Each structure stands twice: as C-alpha cells, then as structure tokens.
Amino acid sequence: MKKIVYFFLSLLFTVQITQAQILLDPMTANSPAELEQILKNNDLIKKASLAQRAATLNAPPRLELKNGVIRELVGISPTGMPIYVQTNNNLDAAKTLSTNKVWPSGTLGLSLSGLGMTNRMAVWDGGGVRTTHQEFQSRATQTDGSPSLSDHATHVACTMMGGGVVANAKGMSYQAPIKCYDWNSDASEMSSAASAGLLVSNHSYSQISGWNYNDAQGYWEFWGDPSVSLVEDYKFGFYDNISQQWDQIMVNYPNYLPFVAAGNDRGSPGTIPSTFYIRNLSGDWVKGNSSNPPAAVGPYNSISGGPSNAKNVLTVGAVNKIVSGWTKSSDVVMSSFSGWGPTDDGRIKPDVVANGVAVYSAVATSNTAYSTFNGTSMATPNASGSALLIQQHYNNIKGSFMRAATLKGLIIHTADEAGSSVGPDYTFGWGLMNTAKAVSTISDTSKSMIVQNSLSTSSTYTYTFFSDGLSPIRATISWTDRPGSAPSPSLNPSTKMLVNDLDIRVKRNSDNTVFMPYVLNKANPSAAATTGDNSIDNVEQVYLATPSAGTYTITITGKGSMIGGAQPYSLIVSGITPKPSAAFTTVNKIVCSAKPVIFTDQSSGATNRMWYFPGGSPATSTALNPTVSYQYPGVYPVALRISSSTGYDSIYQDDYITVGGIPLPINETFESNSLTRNLWTVENPNNDTTWRLWTIGGTSPGNTAYGINNYDYPTAGVFDRLLSPVLDLRGYQSAQLDFQHAYTRYDNSGSDSLIIWISTNCGNSYTRVAAYGENGTGNFATAPNNTYASTNRFNPSTSADWCNGTLSPTCYSLSLTPYIGFHNVKIRFEQKSAGGNNMFLDNINITGTSLSPVANFYSLTKTVCVGDEIQLLDSSKFSPNQWKWYVNDADTIIYTVRNPKVKFLTPGVKTISLVVSNSTGTDSIAKINYINVLPSPNIPAITSTRGSVLCDGDSTIISTDVSNNFIWYKNNLPFSTSITSFQAKEEALYFIRVMGANGCYSKSELLDLKTGVTPPKPTITKDLTNFSFCEGGSFNLTSSSLIDNQWFANDTLFQGKITRVFNFNQAGSFKVQVSDKGCVSFSDPIILTMSPRPNTSAIMGSSWAIKGDTASFYVNPGMVGSTFNWTLTGGSVQSGATTSAVVIKFNSTTSSTLNVQENASNNCKGLLQTLNISLVNTGLPNLKNNIEIKVYPNPAQNTIWVQTETRKASKMTIEVYSILGQRVYSNDEEISSGKSQKEIDIRNYPSGMYIIQILSDGKQFTKNFIKE
Amino acid sequence: MNKIKILFVILALIPLMAMAQKEKVSIKSKSRSPQRKFEYHQASNFDMVNGKMNVALNSANGYLFEITSIAVKSLKCKKTLKSNEFTVVLIDNSLNRTYISKPNSKATLHIQCLPNGSYVLIYKGDLYFNKQRLTIHANLQGSINHSQNLKTN
C-alpha cells in the first residue's frame, strides 16, 4: 500500500529533487525497467516544480470535499490556472468490474447485494477492522479479537461490503456480513472458517520482498536473502511452503477461494538509493554496497512472495478505473506498481486485474472517516467482494454454491480482454474481471455451460455441441490442484509446481481440426500468447474468435496418473448454439365459442415455426403469437413445430382448448387445490372493495370462500359481481345450482342483497333467475343481527354462521333446467350493497343429469399417406366421458382418448368407428371408407461403408438406393436433393426421404453417425502363476483399462461383466474389449486351462476308538503320485502323515476329528475328507507290556482273526468285550512261540465296536474292531 | 543408591513424557448452559509473523484456539508470561462467538522447551464473550512451521 501523504508533499519533493533535477526523455530508455525509473524521476521533478508554482498561486495541493472526494493538484494550465484530479471511489471500482450491473438497481435486473450470505466472506489484514464504522452497519465482526485498528484493514473491508452511507464508499457486496481477522495464524483461521462454510476471503498482504522503505528509520532496505542472491530477492514468483500450505487448504475445502493481492513491488525502488541496508548472512541489517546494489524489481517476475504465488488462489493485479465500463482492451490501463508474472515455473499470474488506483473507502480513524489508497490491496477487495455476488447468483439459480475452481474458472472465462494482444499475458493475467458477464454466463444455460466433474486416471470427458459460427467459442477448464513440492530457496527455480496436468482440446468435427489452449513463454514474458500443450497452469482455455458453423467436440484428459485417484475439475463453455426447444401457452384455455384465443410462443432457439390448430380458424399459422377462434364447442388439441439451423422440435398438447364451456359437474370449493378456482372472475364497476377470497370457518372442505366486505363499504347501491367459468350445459336432461352462503346485517335499518343471473351468450346479456334480501328485511341472513352489530365485522367461523345453520334459512338451490342445451353459459352472483355487513359464498355446485351421448367425429384430412398421421376429432354431443375408436388397418387398432392421432401402416380406404358413453348411456357411429390411405414409396435404404461409428478420424461413404425425388437430411435439416452418395466424417444424424408419384414420402432408417477414438489396446493380468487353475477354484483377470471393460469368454460376450476385474471358474479363451463410442480395442486372448483335482475317497476306518489307543485309517487316492496331508484333533499322527494310510494315536479326549486332503502331482487338491471319531474308555485296567497282535479284517462281519507273535510259548487268554465292558468271548489256550492265529466267530454279535484283550506271558495287548 | 537411580531415570524421562503429552484444551463454564468440549483431532500450528509467534489449534467440532503475538524475546524456556504479554482467543464457529483474554487478568502462559527444539505452551486463564466467562486450561506443543515478514499491499 502506498499511502499518499500529501501533507508532506513539498518537503518530500525538495528532498527528492536533490537526487535528479533534470527531466529525462522516456524514449531514451533501453528497457522497461529503465523506462519506469525515468518516469518516476520525471514525476518527482514535476511535482516539486508544481508545488513551488502552486504556492505562488495560493492553490492548495490537496482538497478533501464533504462528499469524501479528494482532489489533488497535478498541474498548472497554460493560462496559469491550477489543474486538479479527483479521486476514484468504491463506486467507480464497482463500475470498472461491472459489479454495479448486478445490484438491485442494475441493468441485469438482478438483486445481488450479498444479503443473507452469512459466514461466506472474510478478510484477513494487518490489523483490526473498525467494525463500528458507519459503513458496516453491524455487519462486520472482528472474529479473532484483534485489538489494534488498522486503516488498511478498514479500507479493504469497506471496499468489499461497505453499505454506501457515503455513496462513493459503497462496497461490492454492500449488504453482506463479513468476518474480520488479522494475519496472525491466518492459515489456521482460514481452515476453521472454511470448515464453517466460508466461500471467499481477501488477503491484501504479502511477504516483504525486494525493496522496502523503512519509514521509521528513513531509509530503504533490501529484503532479499543474501545466501541466495545479493541482487535479486528469490521470493518474487517463488512457490514456497506458504503457497503449498494454502493450496492444501483449498484442496481440503474445495468451495473456498482466497483472493490475494499481487503486490506493489514492480519497479521498486525506482531510483536505486545510494544508501540502503541489506541483511548479512547472520541476518543482521548492514549498510549495502552502493557500487553493487540489488536491482530494481521486475517488471516481470514481480509477484511478491507468499500465497500470491499459490496455484489455487486468485491473484489480483491493479489497474486504473473505467467508470463507463470496459469497451475495448485499451481501456484497461496498468497501474505503475502492480506485480507482474510469471511465477518462477512460468505460471500465469496475476490471474485477473481490478481497480486499485486511488480508491476511496472507509478508514479506522473514526466511525465516519474515509481516505484514498492505492494498491493491489484495493484491487483485491474489488474482486473478492464482487465474487461473493457471483456465488450468490449461482446459489439462487442452482440451489448450491460452486466450487472454488469453478468460480475462479468463471471469472477468468468472462474477464474482459486487456493488454496489447489477444489472450492472457503476464501483465494483466486473463484480463479485467467482469462480474456482470460471469453472472450472465450462469443464467444463460442455453448458450453456455458450467460443468463440475472429476477426471480419473486414463479417463476422458467429451462434450459435443453445435455452433452457428456467429459467436466466438470459449472453453475454460480450471481445477484445484494438489499442492506442489516447495523447492529450497533459490533464484527462479524452473521446476513445475503442477501436480495433475489436465488438458483441454476442442475439435472441429467437420475436418477434425484440433484447437489447443493458450500458452505463454516465461523465457519471453512480453510475447503474445500462443497455443499449444499447456503443462504449467491449472487453468487452460481454448478460444475460437470466429468459428465456422458446425459441431465441435471438447475433450478433457489428464497426463499420466491422477494423484489422489481422480482430479475434480470445472469446465465453462460459451458460444454454444442451442437446439430449439418448443413450448407455448395461452391465458385462457376455457373459452366461449368464436372468442379469440391468443397463443404465446415460449420456445427457445426457434427461427421458424408452424402452429397447428385442429378445429380452429386459422387451422395453421406461422406467426409468433397467433390469434385463433373456434366456431364449434368441443375440446381441441394444439401443436407447435419449430426449427432453426441446429435442428427442430415440436410439442403437441392434447385436450388443450375447451370451447363453449366446461361440462358439469362443477364443485367449486375455492380451496387452493381447486382446478377451477382461478377460472372465476370478478366485475368491479366502481373499482372499490369487491369480491375476493377470504379465510373463513364453518364449511367443509377447507377454509376458503369468496366474500365481500360490506361492513366498510361506504357506498350503497353499488353492484359487485362474481362470475362463474364458462359452462357447457349441452347434453343434460336437467341441471341445478346449489351453494352455501353466510351473511348478516349491519343493523335493522337495511340489508344487502344477492341476485343471481345467467347468460347463454358468454356474458353478453344476462337473465335474472333469483334474488335474496332485496326487500331490505335481510331474510336471507344466517347470523343474528345483534351479534354483529355496528362494532363487529362478520366473518363466519362455525357451521352455525352459514345457511342450514342455527338461524336458518336453508341453503339455496336453483334449477338450471331451462338452460340445458346451451353452451357459453355463465352464472353471475351479483351483490348489491346496502351498507350492511359481510357476505360469503362457498361450495358452489352446478350439477346435471346427462343425456345419453350422440356419437360423431370428423377428420380435417381425409387422404393421407402410409406412415403419416391424421388427427381424429370427437364431435359427439351431450358430453361423453369415454371414447373407444376402432380403426382398421393391417389390424384393428383401438384408441381410448378423445382425439387420437392415427398412423396407417397399409394403403387403402379405411373405416373408422367410434363408441362414446357417459353415465347415462352409450352411442356409436361408423364411417365407412372414411380415410383414403395412399401407398408410400418403398422405404429408401441408407448405407454407410464404415458403419455408424468412425474411429480415429476415419471417414465413410453414405449412400442410398434411390436415384431421384429424394431429400437427404442431416441433423433433421435438408441437406441435399441431388447426390446419392457422399463422404462423411463428423458426427451427425442422417436419413433420407423419397417422394412417390402420389406425393407420399417414405423415410429411411436413421443413421446416427458417431466419431470416436480407438482406445489403447488393453492388456490382461492374471492372478495365476501359470496358465492353469485347479478344478473347483477360480481366477481373476484384470484389465489395464479402468473403465468400459467388456469381457469375452471363448469369443462370446459375457453378459453383465463390465468391470475391470473378471472372476471366473471355467477354462477357456478370454479377452477384454474397451470402447469409445463403438471404436473398440481388444486385448490379446489369454487361454487358461483347468487341471483336474483328485477324487479322494472317504476316510476308511473306525468311527470309534479307545482313548489312548492307536488305529489305522486310509483313503483311496484319486490320482497316482499324490501326497496327503493328514490333520487331526484329539490325537497325533504316528506314521504315514503324507501317505494314503496313517496310524493315529488318540489322546484322552472324548472325540477326535481326522482330516485328510490329497495333493496331486498337478498341484491340485482334492476335497477335504473328514472323519469324526468318538473316543471311549475300555472299562478295563490299563495294562502294560503289550505284545504284537494283529486283528483282521477290520471291520468284520462274520469272522475275525487274531494273529499273535510271541517270543516264547505261553498260555494265551483272548477275551472280547463290548464297548460297555461286557465280556462276550473268552478263550484260553496254549500257544507256541512265533506266530499263531485264532479265528473268532462274531456272526451273532450285534454291530458295533468291540475290544479284544489278549493276556500272554504276563503281557497284555488290547485292540478294537468293528462288527458290521 | 537405588533411589538415586530411580530419580535419575525419572528426570531423564520427563522430557520424553512432555513430548508424549497430548495437546489439549479444556473448557469449563459456570453458566447453566453446557459448553461442549474441545475435540482434538490435529496438531497445532506454530508460526512466526513479523517477529511474533502465534499458535493455533483447530478442533474437530468447530473451535479454533489461538495464542498470538508472543514476542520473540519472550520465548524463553521455563518462562511464565503474564496476560499482557500475549493474547488468547477461542473462536466458536458453531455459535459465531469469540472469547477473548483480558490483558490485565491473572492468566499465565508457561513456556517449556524440548530437546528437539519445539515448545510446550501451557495456558491457564479465563476468556470472555460479553458476560460469559470460560476457564481454559490448554496444553499446546509444536515447533515453528513458518516464519514470515508481512506487509500490506
């Protein structure tokens, strides 16, 4: 900030004048920096001279006017008169950005002021805002309790949201509340506020960079880091850890956008002072070497250090005011101090510019103090305060706030051109912010588009649109990028800070020309923007100033993998030529016969139109808003077809106009859900109090009735009328009017009266049918006089206040039978005031007994072609409410609507029959050979040599088999009548119509030609070690493409498998297809085989065992060469752990579970086999010294052998016990040494487990066996 | 001898214990309406702006606790600062309130230094919003992340 200290102007000039007293020619400058110095020096000299001359003229150097305007002496005219310039103000700043246009009084007809945007805007500054200043009106809160007030902070806040107590200090969001903070712990406070919904914040400060004048000490200081450079401060354009931190905050809170000042250091200090201070390597301030001083700053790469260089913030530079608003680029005049880009890595900064020169706003000196400041500090709140209004408008339209990237992208997209060449530059950034254009772009959804999407790795976004070539095309993408890695302090490091590199391209589909986004060259910063691949900025824009008409496709892709998995981005497109959309309306849809009906076209994008009014006159029209009359009563449809260069649209409204009146019954409740309430009208001849809807009580349903205030009605004898909708009383045997009324008199002196009239000519004349209370007796009052005497206005609240209530009379009922057979009927309830009390009408019912209908119909068209539609119109009498049409064609087709549209598929004369019915009866009519359907020519063929999808810029030949009398259509518009084939390569919808000799057309099938790009060939990764899997198992195949995967198994489409990972369990050949609009790419096939698994038998062996005993088990292997894995609980494997037979020793648990799984030599496993074994006690003493014994077979059925082997002959006792310990066999015998065996007959044993105990030579052996 | 060893171990562990201390802000109010607790969820941020240290701690439930404007010369280990040597603020985003310290109160801020160069700040004192008073006991720990010299533009 440069605070203009005019009071010491002369003194300052005197000091400065000693440095240079000669005006230098600016044309002698050899560089922009030198030019700046010359201009600054000349300025000082001129001011000193001026001060001296002004003193002789007694002309004050500075004037502060009552309205807050500042005038400063800037020259003396040739005639010796002082010349003053006048300060700008916040209002001028608003005009510069066109922010005033969106205010309630602005030209856009909006009412954006920031009202209600609580917790959405904040300011951080060097001190506290004077929140009690009159401009803030209690809308500013110093949230962090900062005690020290700051003129600067107050000034900035007022530019953002000052209320305009002094008109010239009116801020951008002049009714918005604001939270204020000082810059201590700004990042933490920003995060906290953003989590609470903050959208926009202002930061008009930066790190002290380069040259800084120490006011207290009276000398210049150079704030560069001597360890990096003695002549240049590395902080200019540098992406430091603060920039990184702020970028991260915006990633965390994607709706939050900080606005940061670009800094005022460009050109600083002007003339290099001979005396200055600089830090040494110890950080101490020492006098600088005047023979080798640091250079002046800039002009390029002069954005001050700190968050100004962050990627995601919006950095604002300062320009002069444009009071009348921008009209051309040269209107934007750069200030003398605003920082310029690029950043060290070449990014475009500042992002935009705003008014920051001599801005008038509030200050903290007092609650009514104002002052004028210069600086990017002033430009930034001009932009940030305006941005809040853009968010407000978006929320008003969309119901939510936009992302910060969208807001930033939109501001950039709609900025006014500035600088000497088209496109962005490092001076003005993307141009002068234009609030009105940004807001209009949000509103204009037909010609502009704002999209908020997310791009994942390897994905593509496309959007195709049509341009009529009359408007420029501009497409901007913006994204909140992940923070970069801040380099170590160094001079102008070139490392890119961009993390996720998105790209936008715009392709002209007619010739596949691709248009690239803007790029700048940091090596040549003053050069005009060119176009090419931008891998630096997180904003890209493609601009076509004069596009040719046709379709265009926008493509957004990302380079490499998206860090974070996906990158949210925002796309803004302008210059779309909208396709037409048909719509219409009319004020009255229920009209009397022969009364004019005005139809209003509400279509968008239409250049041509054709109206269809079956039953009306005229029957067709090409007028914008035609007037039609209908002679005959009935219910009629209306259709509208529109077209433009981008296509056509149509709308058909069946049963749209009711002519002659609505049929009975009418049950008017006057409640809000009544469909006919709005059809009642009021006549108020003297424009005084009249019939209106009241909130009442005592009737059902609801609480609404029509009433009139006679209590306050001063004039007696005045008529007020309530008129019914137009009624159609044809088709009834009888009709009746019933209604409820509520009324009381003012006093006994008089009575208001109610008269009922009826018209059969749409209200041109009326017949009186009933009158109540005309005799002044009030005999139709429903509430007692005295209750509502002169002090009470009658408003019925209970049923007793209405007719049929306590007082009586009964509710009235009138016969309308004399008027049946008429249409255009109206009933008029006329109230004649006698200065009484209020009168109410409710639940007006008009009912009738229908006559039996008389069927009839007609068609405006009697001759049609095959495939064309005709409209059948019902003209039956006496109000049918059901219709059944029989139309014979190839089959008899039945329609059940009132007025069907019919399409005939076969030629010939057609008979139409109609059956109508209502509650009274049914009638029918048949018209033989009523419609003549002419044959249509053969349907023409349409072929495309390349099919309906063109890949990679390919073209196709489209042709037909007809040779004459045809019309080609492209995108529903006539294309050619002469060529039978042509080449095409852009997306479009084609068909051809051929005309026969009888004037009938036939239309071909539609060819919807699409263009796409063949995606990269996908590869498949398997989760198998080799190319086989085991029977019973499955495998996963993973495609290299993240999206659009379609799997094929054995060349057959695998339905439903559109996923990246394919899980399957059958052998075969597999491949995956990826596609882009039909351009496909297949992977190489992968062939997988299934290896069989062994079919292992069940475990053979006993399901019973003795605790502590051993037993053998085995399985029959499923394959040769297998190994086995035996596991068990309740025991341990003694032998054969890897073979098909195993010996188990059981422990003392009650059960054991034995498992085995076969592992075949092909690495496939068999099914797990399991045997549960119950373990029991023997009931016998546990003996030691076992002998060798074998028992076989086991299990056994009839006989069991006991084979023994002993060392010496001995007596052997063999006993057999049941599992319950019961001895069932015993035998003693002498055996010789060696082997012997004994047969035991077990045929008669019950099935189960038995224990054999052998005692021999003092040794004992126990074995169990199973008797089957 | 064993007691000496134990004492030595304890003394040696004190810094580690301090390092292991979790940051915390406790809020007590004597008013009838309950004051929700400060839910800790991320480390505090220490920074230096124009030669003064500021510390800020965001809670998970809408609080922001700040100690600001601690002069560099006051950053001495084991020093206890008086209330006029710093400012404390508790911002409650849920209720749009800011509780502020008073410069002439009995609040204290004790500074400890850890071997790794980070600071432990222990605050005890009262904060005020209109007539409501909160008694705060806060323990913050960290090292200076950023140091900036700022100026307005």
Does A476 have pLDDT greater than 60? yes
The whole-number average pLDDT for the span A203-217 is: 90
Residue A900's DSSP bridge partners are none
Domain boundary among A934, A963, A986: A934
- Tell me which of A3, A146, A186, A188 to substitute to probe the interface with B (most B C-beta atoms closer than 10 Å): A188
CB pairs under 8 A between A and B: 101
Helix (H) or strand (E) holding A48, with range, is helix A32-57
Q: Are A570 and A454 in contact (CB under 8 A)?
A: no
A1002-1030 pLDDT tens trace: 999 999 988 877 888 899 999 998 899 99
Q: CB contact, 8 Å: A261 with chain B? A: yes
Domain boundary among A1012, A1047, A1065: A1012
The two three-digit tokens of residue B115, written as one number: 């071997």
CB-based contact A126 B151, cutoff 8 Å = yes
CA distance A476 to A1111: 82
Q: CB contact, 8 Å: B96 with chain A? A: yes
The whole-number average pLDDT for the span B71-85 is: 90
User: Which range in A988-992, A1058-1062, A1178-1182 is most confidently predicted, on average pLDDT?
Assistant: A988-992
Residue A497 maps to a domain:
no
Residue with tokens 């989590």: A195
C-alpha distances in Å from residue A1141, one per residue of A147, A1111, A1126, A1135, A1156: 91, 11, 9, 8, 10
The pLDDT assigned to A999 comes to 85
The whole-number average pLDDT for the span A599-623 is: 91
- Arithmetic mean of pLDDT over chain B: 85
A750: left (phi over 0), alpha (psi -120 to 50) or beta: beta
- Least confident span in A33-42, A351-360, A828-837: A33-42
User: Which range in A66-70, A555-559, A1235-1239 is most confidently predicted, on average pLDDT?
Assistant: A555-559
The pLDDT assigned to A56 comes to 64
Report the residue from A126, A184, A376 with minimal CB separation from B68. A184
Residue with tokens 């020492």: A286
CA distance A959 to A954: 17
Residue A1214 maps to a domain:
yes
CB-based contact B152 A126, cutoff 8 Å = yes
Residue A386 maps to a domain:
yes
Q: CB contact, 8 Å: B104 with chain A? A: no
Looking at the fold, whether A1125 and A1258 belong to one and the same domain comes out as no
CA distance A1048 to A1087: 12
CB-based contact A223 B149, cutoff 8 Å = yes
Helix (H) or strand (E) holding A47, with range, is helix A32-57
Does A36 have pLDDT greater than 60? no
Nearest Cα neighbor of A552 from A866, A954, A1041, A1011 is: A1011
CB-based contact B151 A242, cutoff 8 Å = no
Looking at the fold, whether A727 and A798 belong to one and the same domain comes out as yes
CB-based contact A188 B56, cutoff 8 Å = yes
Report the residue from A142, A185, A212 with minimal CB separation from B68. A185
CB-based contact B49 A187, cutoff 8 Å = no
CB-based contact A376 B153, cutoff 8 Å = yes
CA distance A434 to A387: 10
- Least confident span in A412-421, A448-457, B28-37: B28-37
The pLDDT assigned to A42 comes to 56
Nearest Cα neighbor of A658 from A595, A714, A600 is: A595
The pLDDT assigned to A386 comes to 97
- Tell me which of B84, B99, B152 to substitute to probe the interface with A (most A C-beta atoms closer than 10 Å): B152
| Residue B106 identity (one-letter amino acid) | K
Q: CB contact, 8 Å: B91 with chain A? A: yes
CB-based contact A212 B68, cutoff 8 Å = no
Does A786 have pLDDT greater than 60? no
Looking at the fold, whether A625 and A673 belong to one and the same domain comes out as no
The whole-number average pLDDT for the span A130-145 is: 94
Which domain CATH number covers A378? 3.40.50.200
The pLDDT assigned to A51 comes to 65
Q: CB contact, 8 Å: A470 with chain B? A: no
Judged on CB neighbours under 10 Å (0-12, 13-18, 19+), A1121 is: exposed
CB-based contact B58 A188, cutoff 8 Å = yes
Compare A834 and A552 and report the one with higher pLDDT.
A552
The two three-digit tokens of residue A1246, written as one number: 């019950």
Q: CB contact, 8 Å: B42 with chain A? A: no
A389-432 pLDDT tens trace: 999 999 999 999 999 999 999 999 999 999 999 999 999 999 99
CB-based contact B66 A189, cutoff 8 Å = yes
B152/chain A closest Cα distance in angstroms: 4
The two three-digit tokens of residue A111, written as one number: 């009412």
- Arithmetic mean of pLDDT over chain A: 88
Residue A539 maps to a domain:
no
Residue A996 maps to a domain:
yes
The pLDDT assigned to A89 comes to 63
Chain A residues lying within 8 Å of B153, measured CB to CB: 1, 204-206, 261-264, 304, 375-377, 380
Looking at the fold, whether A824 and A861 belong to one and the same domain comes out as no
The pLDDT assigned to A321 comes to 93
Q: CB contact, 8 Å: B56 with chain A? A: yes
Q: How many CB atoms lie within 10 A of CB A18?
A: 8
The whole-number average pLDDT for the span A930-946 is: 94
Partner B, chain A 416-445, Cβ-Cβ below 8 Å? none
Residue A34 maps to a domain:
yes
What's the domain count of chain B?
1
CA distance B57 to B51: 20
CB-based contact A192 B100, cutoff 8 Å = no
Does A628 have pLDDT greater than 60? yes
What's the domain count of chain A?
9
The whole-number average pLDDT for the span B94-113 is: 91
CB-based contact B91 A241, cutoff 8 Å = no
Q: Are B65 and B45 in contact (CB under 8 A)?
A: no
Compare A650 and A55 and report the one with higher pLDDT.
A650
Query: For a pLDDT cut of 70, what percent of chain A falls above it?
Result: 90
Q: CB contact, 8 Å: A208 with chain B? A: yes
Looking at the fold, whether A903 and A951 belong to one and the same domain comes out as no
Is the pTM of the predicted complex or chain greater than 0.95?
Answer: no
Q: CB contact, 8 Å: B58 with chain A? A: yes
A1131-1144 pLDDT tens trace: 999 988 899 999 99
Chain B residues lying within 8 Å of A184, measured CB to CB: 49, 52, 54, 66, 68-69
Looking at the fold, whether A1002 and A1026 belong to one and the same domain comes out as no
Q: CB contact, 8 Å: A144 with chain B? A: yes
User: In a 3-state reduction of DSSP, which class is residue A49?
Assistant: helix
A1230-1241 pLDDT tens trace: 877 777 888 899
Report the residue from B93, B145, B153 with minimal CB separation from A377. B153
Nearest Cα neighbor of A363 from A174, A149, A123, A215 is: A149
Report the residue from B56, B146, B151 with minimal CB separation from A241. B146
Q: What contacts A675, CB < 8 A, 6 or more positions away? A: none
Which domain CATH number covers A631? 2.60.40.10
B55/chain A closest Cα distance in angstroms: 7
Q: How confident is the model at residue A1183 (pLDDT cuts 50, 70, 90)?
A: very low
Residue with tokens 């790795």: A457
A157-194 pLDDT tens trace: 999 999 999 999 999 999 999 999 999 999 999 999 99
CA distance A1206 to A1035: 59
The whole-number average pLDDT for the span A296-322 is: 94
Q: Give the gyration radius of chain A's Cα atoms.
A: 48
Q: How confident is the model at residue A1 (pLDDT cuts 50, 70, 90)?
A: low
Residue B60 domain boundaries = 22-148
**Side-chain half-sphere CA neighbours of A6 within 13 A:** 15
Looking at the fold, whether A1061 and A1113 belong to one and the same domain comes out as no
CA distance A394 to A443: 8
Does A1050 have pLDDT greater than 60? yes
Nearest Cα neighbor of A721 from A684, A676, A678, A767 is: A684
Looking at the fold, whether A337 and A420 belong to one and the same domain comes out as yes
Work out whether the CA dihedral B96, B102, B105, B106 comes out positive or negative: positive
The two three-digit tokens of residue A203, written as one number: 């930061």
Looking at the fold, whether A651 and A783 belong to one and the same domain comes out as no
DSSP secondary structure letters along A838-851:
-EEEEEEEEEEEEP
Q: How confident is the model at residue A1203 (pLDDT cuts 50, 70, 90)?
A: confident
CB-based contact A263 B153, cutoff 8 Å = yes
Helices (H) and strands (E) in chain B, counts: 1, 12
CB-based contact A189 B52, cutoff 8 Å = no
Compare A449 and A1104 and report the one with higher pLDDT.
A449
User: In a 3-state reduction of DSSP, which class is residue A225?
Assistant: coil
The whole-number average pLDDT for the span A957-983 is: 90
The two three-digit tokens of residue A1064, written as one number: 């399957």
Judged on CB neighbours under 10 Å (0-12, 13-18, 19+), A187 is: buried
The pLDDT assigned to A1200 comes to 87
| Residue A347 identity (one-letter amino acid) | R
| Residue A90 identity (one-letter amino acid) | N
CB-based contact A204 B152, cutoff 8 Å = yes
Q: How confident is the model at residue A21 (pLDDT cuts 50, 70, 90)?
A: low
CB-based contact B49 A145, cutoff 8 Å = no
Q: CB contact, 8 Å: A184 with chain B? A: yes
Helix (H) or strand (E) holding A940, with range, is none
Does A1057 have pLDDT greater than 90? no
Looking at the fold, whether A754 and A732 belong to one and the same domain comes out as yes
DSSP secondary structure letters along A154-212:
HHHHHHHH---SSGGG--TTTT--EEEEESTTHHHHHHHHHHTT--EEEE-EEE--SEE
Q: What b/e sequence results for A58-96 when a residue is b if at least 16 CB atoms lie within 10 Å of its CB, and e otherwise?
A: ebebeeeeeebbbbbbeebeeeeebebeebbbbbbbbbb
A334-343 pLDDT tens trace: 999 999 999 9
Residue A281 maps to a domain:
no
The pLDDT assigned to A84 comes to 45
The pLDDT assigned to A18 comes to 42
Chain A residues lying within 8 Å of B94, measured CB to CB: 196
Q: CB contact, 8 Å: A283 with chain B? A: no
CA distance A780 to A44: 96
Looking at the fold, whether A761 and A720 belong to one and the same domain comes out as yes
Q: Are A1099 and A1084 in contact (CB under 8 A)?
A: no
CA distance A1237 to A392: 105
Query: For a pLDDT cut of 70, what percent of chain B falls above it?
Result: 85
Residue A1208 maps to a domain:
yes
The whole-number average pLDDT for the span A552-576 is: 93
The pLDDT assigned to A92 comes to 84
* Angle of helix A376-398 versus helix A151-161 axis, rounded to 10: 30
A697-733 pLDDT tens trace: 999 999 999 999 888 775 778 889 999 999 999 889 9
Residue A394 domain boundaries = 90-219+250-267+299-435
CB-based contact A306 B148, cutoff 8 Å = yes
Does A597 have pLDDT greater than 90? yes
Compare A887 and A1043 and report the one with higher pLDDT.
A887
The pLDDT assigned to B41 comes to 82
User: In a 3-state reduction of DSSP, which class is residue A57?
Assistant: helix
A261/chain B closest Cα distance in angstroms: 7
Phi, psi for A601 (deg, rounded to 5): -75, 125
The pLDDT assigned to A972 comes to 76
CA distance A1207 to A855: 122
Does A75 have pLDDT greater than 60? no
Chain A residues lying within 8 Å of B69, measured CB to CB: 184
C-alpha distances in Å from residue B19, one per residue of A237, A574, B121, B124: 38, 57, 12, 20
Domain boundary among A785, A819, A850: A850
The whole-number average pLDDT for the span A321-327 is: 91
Q: CB contact, 8 Å: A242 with chain B? A: yes
Distance of CA A677 to the CA centre of its chain: 38
Looking at the fold, whether A681 and A820 belong to one and the same domain comes out as yes
Does A291 have pLDDT greater than 80? yes
Any idea what DSSP says for residue A708?
E
Q: CB contact, 8 Å: A248 with chain B? A: no
A145/chain B closest Cα distance in angstroms: 6
- Least confident span in A285-294, A878-887, A1174-1183: A1174-1183
Residue B134 maps to a domain:
yes
Residue B3 maps to a domain:
no
Q: What b/e sequence results for A445-474 when a residue is b if at least 16 CB atoms lie within 10 Å of its CB, and e otherwise?
A: eebbbbeebebebbbebbbebbbbbebebb
CA distance A500 to A536: 10
Query: For a pLDDT cut of 90, what percent of chain A falls above it?
Result: 61
- Least confident span in A392-406, A460-474, A494-508: A460-474
For residue B127, the chain A residue with the least C-alpha distance is: A145
Partner A, chain B 15-34, Cβ-Cβ below 8 Å? none
Q: Are A219 and A288 in contact (CB under 8 A)?
A: no
Q: Are A732 and A664 in contact (CB under 8 A)?
A: yes
